[in-house]
Amino acid sequence: MKIIILTRDKIQLFLYLLGIILCLFILFPYFSNTKYTKGSLNRITLLVDPGHGGVDGGTADHLGNLEKDINLAIALKLRAQLRQSGLNVFMSRETDTELSPFIKGRQGRHRRDLSARIEKAKTTGSLFIISIHCDWSTDRGRHGMIAFYNYQDPAGKKLALIVQEEFNKIQKTPQKAAPGNYFIIKQPGVSGVLLEVGFLSNPEEAVLLQNKEYQEKIALAIANGILQYCRNLSST
Ligand SMILES: [Zn+2]
């Protein structure tokens, strides 16, 4: 049997090392938590959905500028901003195309198109579908950006409220997020928001919506809202 005799120096060294280990042990949760917060944004996947596309132009302004093109322009800017922040972003479409082709004699193209978008949100494991649209009204005076949610989807509602706050920072008249009866945000198993970024029937807003800087501003407001939501999620 080997007997180890510890000298005073060795005991002091041992206690010293024990102190360092204890300190690391206490500080570990702090460091690991910081890492978790940063890393967790990478683990969040979203589907950005530019409304309409291809055979479906959506609404139009008085000059014939189509909603589908504005939706896509803003969506691509939004994707770039979200990716820069580390989020994992998919698009329902990246070009001017429909998700379900028009077939002569076959009904329900629009519904099939929307279903394909929802399917994409499911297969990509997206936390949210962010559907971007422009509005239209017979009242040319109507204007403003509104975030819609499904009232049965608390996560979607929370996101809509945050995005609405960001919208209100960049629009003259504050609006309220509202429940909306839209097919794309009321499917079970998929959470999301439908964002109406302005009225193409309003001449002033129609001009703004063609402006690339204004589109960038809208994309940034949406991105800020999404990031706020995701960061809250990561820190809880
Ligand atoms: Zn639309």
Model confidence at 104: pLDDT above 60: yes
Report which of residues 47 and 110 the model is more confident about: 47
pLDDT of the residue at 190? 93
Output the CA–CA distances (angstroms, integers) from residue 18 to 11, 21, 148, 164, in the order listed. Answer: 10, 5, 57, 53
Q: What is the pLDDT of residues 185-235, one digit of tens each?
A: 999 889 999 999 999 999 999 999 999 999 999 999 999 999 999 998 877
- Cα 65 to ligand 1 centroid, rounded to whole Å: 13
What is the rounded average pLDDT of the residues 7-14? 80
Predicted structure pTM score: 0.82
Q: What is the pLDDT of residues 168-177, one digit of tens each?
A: 999 999 999 9
- Cα 16 to ligand 1 centroid, rounded to whole Å: 67
C-beta of residue 122 within 8 angstroms of C-beta of residue 156: no
Q: Domain ranges in the chain?
A: 11-42, 44-235
pLDDT of the residue at 18? 83
- Cα 84 to ligand 1 centroid, rounded to whole Å: 27
What DSSP assignment string belongs to 74-130? HHHHHHHHHHHTT-EEEES-SSS--SS---TT---HHHHHHHHHHHHHHHTT-SEEE
User: Considering only CA atoms, which of 201, 180, 175 is closest in space to residue 65?
Assistant: 201
Work out the percent of the chain whose per-residue pLDDT is above 70. 90
Q: Which CATH number is associated with domain 44-235?
A: 3.40.630.40
- Cα 29 to ligand 1 centroid, rounded to whole Å: 46
- Cα 121 to ligand 1 centroid, rounded to whole Å: 18
- Cα 135 to ligand 1 centroid, rounded to whole Å: 6
Q: Which amino acid is at 36?
A: Y
Q: What is the pLDDT of residues 16-64, one digit of tens each?
A: 888 888 767 666 655 554 444 445 788 899 999 999 999 999 999 999 9
- Cα 88 to ligand 1 centroid, rounded to whole Å: 24
- Cα 181 to ligand 1 centroid, rounded to whole Å: 13
